[in-house]
Amino acid sequence: MKTVFSGIQPSGELHLGNYLGAVRNWVRLQDEYRCIFCVVDYHALTQDYDPKEMAKRVCDMVADLLALGIDPDRSLLFLQSMVPEHTELCWVFNNVTGHGDLERMTQFKDKSATQPENVNVGLFEYPVLQAADILLYKAQLVPVGQDQVQHIELARRIARSFNHRWGKVFPECEPMLTNLPKLLGLDGKAKMSKSLGNHIPLSAFAAEKPLWKLLRGAVTDPQRVNREDKGDPDVCNVFTMHKALSTEEDLAWVREGCTTAGIGCVDCKQRLSGRMLEHFRAYVERRAAIVADPSIVQKVLEAGAAKARALAQRTMTEVHAKLGLWRSP
Ligand code: SF4
């Protein structure tokens, strides 16, 4: 069975974009692969954050992942900073990573532009730590969007360079490209994101009113100004959400009603709201139970770190031997 590795930054409660763009796929992957899911809190240090919030962000995210169906009995779920071998392997990998390779990383260039006041070495090194995250567990597959492919290709080059210089330890990992919907935010302009404030937090699915408050303002087909205007569902972000969560019958109803002006956007959004509440009902119940007992998250993170460390230490023993470092005989 192949090993799949995925990392997610501890941004706190998840939103619909995180779910449709990653976590729903992770839940399915558990049926076919040995999955390793890591909350990458060391990666989060590359950006400004409030240290008083960090522990809560981790716990909220883990509660969400468990409630959505990440199963710690089948998959490994743990916190990166509880396994120090990640940063140790990162240091080793620094010695087979070209400075020019890191300078070419598109995400580094983009992030440097958006946070010019804090272009730190961690940001520059981010893909090397990411390579260590993946290769520490000898993962062969990494589910990513197109924007992360460059990082996975670099991880593959790092594995190849290590193996060439010191001897074979690591497999050459590959991106696992998934055809997931590209969900825009409620503003209909940019990708759904908590930092842009255009998101639907999963907590909104707990009740009809908060969800409707968000959906009511969601941008639709800009050409459809009045109810009698005919619309094009294929340019409407609300339809993208329908495609992800509604039935075939709903989709046919929306397509027909939108293109003939037989339904209004309010009707369309109300149908979507109902489907969303239905889809997330089990999640809402499971999350409430998890949050009511903080020891659940604590136990998952402690057990996950113990299992991850055992695997990580096995890899590092091989690495130390290849590097020729002195160890007690
Ligand atoms: Fe979008 Fe639905 Fe309105 Fe058509 S009817 S523009 S798909 S919200």
> Quick check: is 191 catalytic?
yes
Predicted confidence at residue 117, as pLDDT, reads 86
For residues 245 and 277, what is the distance between their CA atoms, to the nearest angstrom?
10
Predicted confidence at residue 114, as pLDDT, reads 83
Write down the CATH superfamily of domain 3-183+294-323.
HUPs (3.40.50.620)
Predicted confidence at residue 329, as pLDDT, reads 84
How many Cα atoms within 13 Å fall on the side-chain side of residue 203?
9
Of 8, 11, 93, 90, which is closest to residue 49 (Cα–Cα)? 11
Best of 184, 215, 227, 239 to mutate for ligand 1, by most ligand atoms within 8 A of CB?
Answer: 239
- Ligand 1 neighbourhood includes 272 CB (under 6 angstroms): no
Residue 131 has pLDDT above 90, yes or no: yes
Distance 115 CA to ligand 1 centre (A): 36
Judge contact between 204 and 214, C-beta under 8 A: yes
Q: Which atom of ligand 1 is nearest to the CA of 267?
A: 5
For residues 126 and 46, what is the distance between their CA atoms, to the nearest angstrom?
8
Q: Which of 2, 52, 56, 111 is catalytic?
A: 111
Q: For the chain, give me the number of helices (H) and strands (E)?
A: 15, 5
For residues 206 and 196, what is the distance between their CA atoms, to the nearest angstrom?
22
What residues have CB less than 8 Å from 245, skipping those under 6 apart?
272, 275, 276, 279
Domain positions in the chain are 3-183+294-323, 202-282
Distance 218 CA to ligand 1 centre (A): 10
User: What is the CB neighbour count within 10 angstroms for residue 183?
Assistant: 21
Percent residues over pLDDT 90 in the chain: 91
Name the pLDDT band for 103 (thresholds 50, 70, 90). Answer: very high
Distance 202 CA to ligand 1 centre (A): 22
Average pLDDT over residues 35-42: 98
Predicted confidence at residue 286, as pLDDT, reads 98
- Ligand 1 neighbourhood includes 221 CB (under 6 angstroms): yes
Average pLDDT over residues 28-53: 96
The CATH code of domain 202-282 reads 1.10.240.10
- Ligand 1 neighbourhood includes 258 CB (under 6 angstroms): yes
Report the side by side order of strands in the sheet with 34-39. 76-79, 34-39, 3-8, 141-144, 174-177
Task: Tell me what the pLDDT averaged over the chain comes to.
Answer: 95
Q: Which atom of ligand 1 is nearest to the CA of 269?
A: 8
Element (DSSP H or E) covering residue 261: none
The residue among 113 and 309 whose pLDDT is bigger is 309
- Ligand 1 neighbourhood includes 219 CB (under 6 angstroms): no
> Quick check: is 213 catalytic?
no
Average pLDDT over residues 27-35: 97
Residue 116 has pLDDT above 90, yes or no: no
Give pLDDT tens digits for 244-288: 999 999 999 999 999 999 999 999 999 999 999 999 999 999 999
For residues 253 and 262, what is the distance between their CA atoms, to the nearest angstrom?
10
Tokens of 170: 């690591």
